């Protein structure tokens, strides 16, 4: 949408990407060239990259190397220290609870238009959650998988490299080679969730971090805070569209449900959408159409599963809606993509 600031991410999150592409047999210049940036940019940890470009780098890496789980394996081999100041702030914390608390608290300096939360999940478990909020960034699967791998490796610094979460959740649909995800994390992996998250035992929070260093922690916090937080691009309209996307798999949300989710009045929701030339129902249809085209490009996804992901109880209802939006059926749209 016009007027929003461009969300950014520190290039430290892509540290080692050039070498990883080479190890996967990819063409470095082609991948970076198609995304419009130079490979050398990932060597400057405090350089700010547009978040959509960062996500596109890994999506293009997956396509060009023909490794559909490119982001998954990049994240699994990523050393937390390579996250730069943000990573060192976590690793130098006194215990795992403080490490993850600092990780979440300082995330706003690492990446814009995104959310990271640490919250109880029942009496004995914790949930570390991550999600990009920018509604325009649809191709975000590789980013989600590499990010949860990076977060898991922070916990493994404390609990040992063979530690595994209880469960792993991803917001995107199940990919073809999803068994690799369970092998990588050593845990059950669920897809089509409301957010990306790892679940683990609450008792782990008291474990001491092996690299605890109060002076280094204070220095890293000070350096990050001196940079100022990144533009968040969190206009209310963007938050509304993001909330709609989150709830779609449960069925099309109504105005009151989204208002309750965002803790706003229905009138405030309608006013924000009206400023963008949208009614609430049109906003839901907009999100559905954008996601439908994104999912149809993933040829392994059955049309029936796409319908459920978009909140339709029947394939016929999705087919009618998509035909109304595009002028052709989902099957014909996908056939056109396959031909080209």
| pLDDT at 92 > cutoff 50 | yes
CA distance 31 to 50: 16
Q: Which two tokens stand for residue 172?
A: 């995107």
Q: Comparing 245 with 232, which gets the higher pLDDT?
A: 245
**Residue of 194, 205, 189 lying closest to 124 (CA atoms):** 205
8 Å CB contact between 144 and 175: no
Is the domain spanning 236-339 CATH 1.10.10.60? The answer is yes
- 234 phi/psi in degrees, rounded to 5: -100, 65
pLDDT digits (tens, 9 = 90+) for 6-21: 899 999 999 999 999 9
pLDDT-derived band at 233 (thresholds 50, 70, 90) equals: very low
What residue has token string 């960062």? 54
Mean predicted lDDT score pLDDT of the chain:
94
Helix, strand, coil content of the chain in percent (nearest 5): 55, 10, 35
- 3-state DSSP assignment of residue 200: strand
Tell me the backbone φ, ψ of residue 48, rounded to 5 degrees: -95, 125
Q: Residue 153's Cα: distance from chain center in Å?
A: 17
Q: pLDDT, tens digit, for every residue of 139-180?
A: 999 999 999 999 999 999 999 999 999 999 999 999 999 999
Strand segments (E) across 191-316:
196-201
Q: What's the rounded Cα separation, in Å, for the pair 287 and 266? A: 19
Q: Please give the pLDDT value at position 230.
A: 58
Confidence at 338, pLDDT banded by 50, 70, 90: confident
- C-alpha 240/C-alpha 238 separation (Å) is 5
Sequence ranges of the domains in the chain: 69-227, 236-339
């Amino acid at each position: 949408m016009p007027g929003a600031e461009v969300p950014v991410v520190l290039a430290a999150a892509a540290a080692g990407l050039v070498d990883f592409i080479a190890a996967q047999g990819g063409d470095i210049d082609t991948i970076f060239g198609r995304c419009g940036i130079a490979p050398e940019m990932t060597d400057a940890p405090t350089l700010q990259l547009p978040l959509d470009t960062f996500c596109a780098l890994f999506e293009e890496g997956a396509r060009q190397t023909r490794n559909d789980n490119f982001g998954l394996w990049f994240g699994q081999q990523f050393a937390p220290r390579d996250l730069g100041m943000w990573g060192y702030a976590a690793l130098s914390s006194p215990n795992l609870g403080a490490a993850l608390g600092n990780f979440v608290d300082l995330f706003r300096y690492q990446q814009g238009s995104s959310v990271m939360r640490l919250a109880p999940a029942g009496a004995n478990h914790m949930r570390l959650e991550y999600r990009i909020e920018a509604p325009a960034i649809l191709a975000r699967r590789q980013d989600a998988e590499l990010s949860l791998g990076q977060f898991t490796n922070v916990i493994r610094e404390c609990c040992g490299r063979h530690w595994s979460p209880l469960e792993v959740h991803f917001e995107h649909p199940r990919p073809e080679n999803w068994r690799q995800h369970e092998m990588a994390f050593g845990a059950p992996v669920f897809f089509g969730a409301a957010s990306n998250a790892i679940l683990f035992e609450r008792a782990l929070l008291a474990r001491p971090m092996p690299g605890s260093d109060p002076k280094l922690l204070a220095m890293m916090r000070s350096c990050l805070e001196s940079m100022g937080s990144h533009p968040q691009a969190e206009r209310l309209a963007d938050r509304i569209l993001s909330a709609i996307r989150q709830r779609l798999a449960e069925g099309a949300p109504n105005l009151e449900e989204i208002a309750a989710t965002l803790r706003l009045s229905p009138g405030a929701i309608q006013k924000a959408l009206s400023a963008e030339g949208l009614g609430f129902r049109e906003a839901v249809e907009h999100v559905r159409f954008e996601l439908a085209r994104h999912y149809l490009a993933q040829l392994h996804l059955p049309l029936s599963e796409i319908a459920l992901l978009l909140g339709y109880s029947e394939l016929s209802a999705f087919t009618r809606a998509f035909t109304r939006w595009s002028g052709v059926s989902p099957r014909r749209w996908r056939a056109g993509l396959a031909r080209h």
